[in-house]
Amino acid sequence: MRTQVAIAGAGPAGLLLSHLLRLRGIDSVVLESRDRAYVEKRQRAGMLEQGTVDVLRDSGVGERLDREGLTHHGLELRFDGAGHRIPLSELTGGRTVTVYAQTEIVKDLIAARLAAGGEIHFETEVLSVDPGAPTVTFRRDGRVETLECDVIAGCDGFHGVCRPAVPDTRVHEREYPFAWLGILADVPPSTDELIYAYSERGFALHSLRSPKISRLYLQVDPAEDIAAWPDERIWSELRARFATDDGWELRDGPILEKSITPMRSFVAEPMRHDRLFLAGDAAHIVPPTGAKGLNLAISDVVVLAEALGAWYDSGTTELLDAYSDTCLRRVWRAEHFSYWMTTLLHKDPRQDAFGHRLQLSHLEYVAASKAAATTLAENYVGAAPLL
């Protein structure tokens, strides 16, 4: 097998990269270890920055996003029994965020690639990559084969084989003393905009997937057993953390899915070695509080597609040589914002009464100060352009 760009991983990063390359007349092959049904059902983030929406729309895969996505102009910080709205659009020159599940982005991209005759090989395990040759060795239908290429894009996630192929990687990481218990519930959302709640009981987030499906999260201990959280306990704890003095009520209903996800910050530098380029979770992880993970992955592959386009068009390597530094500037900004949001809104189990009062004071400042609220809003909607 031979192609111009070999892409390991059929998540949003790998699929969008393949789609963007096709628009530039560049061939690619996507290799994915899971089957198509699993990939299209894999639940992940669903909050899209303005820039991400623009990329999907401008590249021709935004029709269903425009029809079904839920555009938000603000969010709510809730603490001390009261809600405080942060007017995102008002503070950022009209920019917005959009709720559109990763599962739907993946479906849209797979459909677009297959309709254009693109090669996506599901149930194909990447065994190793050689950044110098460059080649990808993979197993499919019990046979080991090799894919020759000009460039390898490592979009195979945190546990993939691509990052270990980068020698002398500098790893920066932080583990947090809490995790998220997330649920998908068959109940209309109790809010029109996301609610980020801080209480002495811990953090809670009210998100949504559609006008009929709610997505909610609770801060729990990373060692917590999901079996210890029957549905009624989850709803009871959510009601306690979202409680306000004005009588606001949380709707509940059947829980369709539940899981516990530990939280970490992780960055691997550099994001390139020879002809291998890392993108998305293969290179960086953020805690989900700032809704940056998917958006960073999209940003990476937009930068990579532009750099590859310039290389194939004119032979210039300037953008390829700058790829890692270009991406990492945005990555570290997102890492800081995600860390800031996480520490602002979660209750550290080691925290004393002094720390609790400091946290409340910080939240009050963000809610009352236009300057502080603007900082939150600019980072949340993705004020910096993708390029």
Q: Report the length, in residues, of the chain.
A: 387
Residue for token pair 């109790």: 190
Distances in Å between the Cα of 141 and the Cα atoms of 19, 33, 118, 120, 138 are 26, 11, 20, 15, 10
Residue type present at position 78: R
Residue of 72, 206, 273, 346 marked active site: 72
Residue of 288, 323, 346, 347 marked active site: 288
Residue of 206, 273, 284, 292 marked active site: 292
Residue type present at position 377: A
- Give kind and range of the element (H or E) at residue 272: strand 272-273
Secondary-structure breakdown of the chain: helix, strand, coil percentages, each rounded to the nearest 5: 40, 30, 35
Residue 112 in tokens: 């677009």
212 is catalytic: no
Distance of CA 138 to the CA centre of its chain: 27
Residue of 176, 196, 198, 323 marked active site: 196
Residues 6+ apart with CB under 8 A from 228: none
Distance of CA 97 to the CA centre of its chain: 13
347 is catalytic: no
Nearest Cα neighbor of 347 from 214, 219, 206 is 219
Residue for token pair 């590859």: 308
Characterize 81-97 residue by residue with b for buried, 16 or more Cβ atoms within 10 angstroms of its Cβ, and e for exposed: eebbbbebbebbeebbb
100 is catalytic: no
107 is catalytic: no
196 is catalytic: yes
Positions annotated as catalytic residues are: 72, 196, 288, 292, 380
